[in-house]
Structure 1
Amino acid sequence: MQELIIDLTLPAERYLAWYRGQAGRVMMHSRDGRRVSLPAHHLRPFLTHMGVYGSFVMRFTAEGKLVSLERLE
């Protein structure tokens, strides 16, 4: 299993594009510089009225399948 740490700043206005059907994925960068494309629905548990903010650890298989996404304290 592989891990990436991601610091995410996603204002609510940008996340709303997913609800409107204008976007299906969120592009972000990990702390080590890798580009990550994640289906927006995986961020829904972390969505507040301000958007999605914080640091997250993403765990995935060698094939790139998401195993877990957790907010870091």
Structure 2
Amino acid sequence: MSGRPLDVLEASLGERVTVRLKSGDEYVGELGGYDQHMNLVLEDATNAADSDETDTATAESVEDTTIIRGDNVVSITP
């Protein structure tokens, strides 16, 4: 896999990814699309709560399609 960010996103289309935001929130879902600004479209996403705050990690379901603005993204991992 190439190290260029858009190439990595292209290779991850249709795969489940974890997206960490500047706020500390993490979303887990299938990468459905992206654009040149790294705005992301996640399908069937969940918002995972920080496991340090509670004894067990919890997940909150969100809309079927979630759009995340690229300038809020800190990291994207498979």
Which TM-score band applies after superposition, normalised by the shorter structure? 0.3 to 0.5
* Normalised TM-score (structure 1): 0.39
Higher gyration radius (CA): 2
* Normalised TM-score (structure 2): 0.38
